[in-house]
Amino acid sequence: MPTRAQRSRSFRRKRVTTPGGTVRVRYRKKQPGIARCAECKRPLHGVPRGLPSEIRKLRKSQRSPERPYGGNLCAPCTRAKVKLKNMERWKE
């Protein structure tokens, strides 16, 4: 039997054939989804995929791009947004 905590569905179940030939169920924490752009929903580059505890161990510069909106918007969307802001600023 797995431990009490492992019976919840927040764990991923994987069947593994052991060297002895029997099939056993191994439990692992589910991996979070890929980071996506908030506007175009395309997957983001430069944002690692891992549990929060794993990401905390990385350097700050390795967690997300260092540009404004880094880790939230993709590069082309950021450029479009910055251009729009520039346009709006000088209209007034």
Q: Which residues contribute to the site for another protein (CB under 8 A)? A: 66-68, 75, 78-79, 82-83, 85-86, 89-90
11 touches 30 (CB < 8 A)? yes
Q: What are 21's two structure tokens?
A: 């030939």
Specify the residue, 10 or 17, whose C-beta has the smaller distance to another protein.
17
Least spacing, CB of residue 38 vs another protein, in Å:
16
Give 74: exposed, middle or buried? Use CB within 10 Å, 0-12, 13-18, 19+. buried
Least spacing, CB of residue 11 vs another protein, in Å:
32
Specify the residue, 34 or 40, whose C-beta has the smaller distance to another protein.
40
Residue 25 β-bridge partners: 15
